[in-house]
């Protein structure tokens, strides 16, 4: 007896006399040849006829060319290959209909959907009620269609997430993974373990699994209120007095200063932020890659609180973002995490190099996407973006016609250098021209940039302004990612490139722009995770610098916390 998949893909049309117009349409995308005819077998009973009518009406009501239309059409083809016999409803004519053993296993997954960060009610909808359907073919057909839709919805949610990245930010051009829905339904219907098949669609990255384990604690009752939670407040600097010092000593296991015996029983605890506690804070900051200056601001407090300050909603939102990412980041790859203000290179599963970065300020956000580094440019020109030309350079030219030369810049029109000081900028559109900064020590891109061509014109680069790297909050660029130690990064990046290393790049330093094309492109992932999970399960929490985590929580229909005001002084830490 042929398998369901073979029946679906076979090139024989069954029961053609009873076929609706749909049977003559193009084969589904899963067929081996687009011109192959589709198997549509006639229904064998009233339930089959009801299923056929419901599925046909469903897909013919949808707009052609849409993803929903294709999914509904393929579902019709799939059932047509099996005489429109139900997949999930079992009936023998002598007893009330029941769910099949396969459907019951899937229902078990639906009921435990919370542990995957989902809402069980999204899948166990009111339509999925076999008792209410009774033996009515029309109701059973509706139940059958509803269950297939729920199974596919769960599979799609687990595999690629529920939120579209561009609904969070139009510049988030990361493309979530998409299922072959017809194949998925076949696999579920023919699997002896459809529950395991559904669960296996979720990401397998260690950090996703760590978040899932943390989420499970909320439902196991093992999450308790943090005994030591450091409240937010003004910047705490060495020598200051603050009530939070007592909690900090407990959190970092620093002994309280000894109280002289003469002080008496009513002596108050010393709340001075003293040197032993400062040293413990500095060690903690250094361990997490924060600025180890002993000054405690929002970033350090978030890290100190870690998982204790992490909500269930935070975990679910970060799990959602993991569902967008590719299953395989690459054997040798670069990742930038925007909220962490950090970049790292992974080689065969191990972090080979890491450094601090500066990302786009909230009004010039660094986008989230995946790409590949293809070129390294030494002595780069900085091609000034149109927005900077309009908002910053034109006003400067109006005040000072010689502004460009003072910044080592030149202006081009149709590829030729023109004299900017001879133009009346009060009435001229500056975006008719190209402005670029010449290579040199003062170039905004420094000595080197790393290119992965993309629609955002975003890349990694050096910078002559190093002071911002000493801050814990590092969202100050126009959107590109500034690298603290670009030549060290280049050396690590070129580990797999024969004949290229830091020294070979330094040998190219000079007044002319020089391009180096990599023999093998290197995957680069610009990510936005406010929670990171260490191998031991420790959760590190980072600020929601663009408010994107909160936006995702809202789009998922979860309760989002009220945004916290942040002053300039707080942002500095």
Rounded CA-CA distance 296/282 in Å is 10
Provide CB contacts within 8 A for 423, sequence distance 6+. Answer: 397
39 inside domain = yes
SS3 409: strand
C-alpha 165/C-alpha 175 separation (Å) is: 8
What contacts 393, CB < 8 A, 6 or more positions away?
Answer: 384, 403, 404, 409, 430, 435
Give CA–CA dist 129/143, Å, rounded. Answer: 7
pLDDT-derived band at 540 (thresholds 50, 70, 90) equals confident
Domain membership flag for residue 504 = no
How does DSSP classify residue 539? E
Domain end among 202, 228, 261:
202
Confidence bin at 468 (pLDDT 50/70/90): very high
**Rg, Å, the chain Cα set:** 30
Model pLDDT, residue 11: 26
Residue 535 has pLDDT above 60, yes or no: yes
- pLDDT score, position 303: 77
- Residue (of 519, 173, 174, 526) closest to 376 by Cα position: 519
What tokens does 557 get? 């229909």
The rounded Cα 179 to chain-centroid distance in angstroms is: 18
In a domain, 285, yes or no: no
Dihedral (Cα; 265, 266, 272, 273), 10-degree rounding: 60
User: Could you report the per-residue pLDDT of 10-33, keeping only the tens digit for each?
Assistant: 322 222 233 333 343 334 444 434
Alpha helices in 20-136 (DSSP H): 46-60, 67-80, 101-111, 130-133
The arithmetic mean of pLDDT across residues 150-159, rounded, is 95
Q: How many domains does the chain have?
A: 2
pLDDT at 186 (0 to 100): 83
Phi/psi-derived region of residue 110, left when phi > 0, alpha when psi is between -120 and 50, beta in every other case:
alpha
3-class DSSP assignment, residue 271: coil
Tokens 């009233």 appear where? 46
| Residue from 163, 122, 543 nearest 316 by CA | 163
- How would DSSP label each residue in 221-255? T-----SS-PPP-S-B-TT-B-THHHHHHHHHTPP
Question: Distance between CA 298 and CA 542 in Å, rounded?
Answer: 9
What's the pLDDT tens digit per position in 177-203? 888 887 898 899 889 999 999 999 999
Once rounded to an integer, what is the mean pLDDT over residues 3-13?
Answer: 32
What's the pLDDT score for residue 417? 95
The residue among 143, 177, 202 that closes a domain is: 202
What is the spatial distance between Cα 2 and Cα 186, in angstroms, rounded to a whole number? Answer: 13
Does residue 485 fall inside a structural domain? no
Percent of the chain with pLDDT over 70: 87
Distances (CA, A) of 526 to 88, 311, 376, 479: 42, 24, 18, 12
Pairing of strands 481-483, 460-461: parallel
- pLDDT score recorded for residue 3: 37
Q: What gap in Å lies between CA 98 and CA 105, rounded to an integer? A: 13
Of 58 and 136, more confident = 136
Q: Which domain holds residue 395?
A: 382-438
**Is residue 269 in some structural domain?**
no
Specify if 49 maps to a domain: yes
Domain annotation covers residue 295: no
Tell me the per-residue pLDDT of 204-261, one tens digit each, with 9 for 90 and over: 999 999 999 999 988 887 764 444 678 888 889 999 999 899 889 888 888 888 766 5
């Amino acid at each position: 007896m042929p398998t369901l998949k073979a029946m679906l893909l076979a090139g024989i049309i069954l029961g053609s006399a009873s076929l609706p117009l749909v049977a003559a349409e193009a084969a589904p995308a899963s067929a081996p040849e687009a011109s192959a005819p589709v198997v549509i077998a006639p229904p064998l009973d009233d339930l089959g006829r009801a299923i056929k009518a419901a599925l046909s009406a469903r897909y013919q009501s949808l707009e052609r060319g849409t993803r929903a239309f294709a999914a509904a059409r393929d579902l019709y083809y799939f059932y047509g290959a099996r005489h429109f016999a139900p997949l999930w409803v079992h009936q023998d004519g002598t007893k009330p209909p029941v769910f099949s053993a396969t459907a019951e296993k899937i229902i078990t997954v639906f009921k435990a959907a919370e542990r995957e960060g989902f809402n069980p009610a999204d899948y166990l909808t009111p339509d999925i009620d076999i008792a209410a359907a009774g033996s009515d073919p029309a109701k059973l057909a509706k139940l059958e269609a509803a269950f297939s839709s729920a199974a596919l919805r769960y599979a799609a949610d687990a595999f690629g997430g529920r939120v579209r990245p561009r609904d969070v930010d139009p510049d988030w051009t990361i493309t979530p993974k998409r299922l072959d829905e017809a194949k998925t339904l076949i696999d579920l219907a023919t699997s002896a373990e459809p529950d395991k098949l559904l669960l296996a669609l979720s990401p397998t990255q260690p950090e996703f699994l760590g978040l899932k384990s943390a989420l499970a604690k909320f439902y196991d009752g093992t999450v308790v209120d943090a005994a030591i939670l450091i409240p937010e407040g003004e910047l705490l600097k060495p020598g200051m007095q603050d009530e939070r010092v007592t909690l900090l000593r407990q959190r970092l296991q620093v002994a309280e200063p000894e109280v002289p015996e003469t002080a008496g029983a009513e002596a108050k605890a010393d709340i001075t932020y003293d040197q032993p506690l400062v040293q413990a804070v500095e060690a903690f900051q250094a361990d997490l890659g924060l600025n180890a200056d002993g000054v405690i601001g929002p970033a350090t407090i978030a890290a100190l609180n870690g998982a204790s300050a992490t909500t269930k909603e935070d975990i679910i939102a970060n799990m959602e973002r993991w569902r967008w990412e590719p299953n395989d980041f690459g054997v040798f790859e670069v990742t930038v995490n925007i909220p962490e203000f950090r970049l790292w290179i992974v080689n065969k599963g191990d972090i080979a190099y890491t450094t601090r970065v500066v990302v786009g300020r909230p009004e010039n956000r660094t986008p989230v996407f995946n790409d590949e580094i293809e070129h390294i440019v030494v002595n780069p020109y900085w091609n000034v973006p149109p927005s900077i030309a309009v908002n910053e350079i034109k006003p400067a030219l109006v005040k000072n016609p010689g502004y460009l030369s003072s910044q080592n810049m030149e202006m081009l029109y149709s590829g030729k250098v023109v004299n900017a000081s001879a133009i009346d900028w009060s009435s001229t559109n500056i975006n008719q021209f190209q402005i670029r900064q010449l290579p040199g020590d003062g170039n905004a891109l420094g000595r080197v940039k790393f290119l992965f061509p993309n629609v955002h014109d975003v890349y990694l680069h050096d910078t002559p302004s190093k002071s911002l790297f000493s801050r814990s909050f590092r969202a100050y660029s126009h959107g590109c990612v500034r690298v603290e130690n670009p030549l060290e990064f280049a050396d690590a990046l070129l580990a797999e490139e024969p004949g290229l290393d830091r020294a070979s790049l330094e040998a190219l330093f000079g007044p002319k722009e020089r391009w180096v094309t990599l023999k093998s492109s290197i995957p680069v992932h610009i990510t936005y995770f406010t929670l990171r999970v260490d191998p031991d399960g420790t959760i590190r929490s980072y600020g929601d610098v663009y408010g994107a985590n909160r936006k995702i929580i809202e789009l998922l229909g979860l309760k989002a916390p009220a945004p916290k005001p942040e002053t300039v002084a707080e942002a500095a830490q």
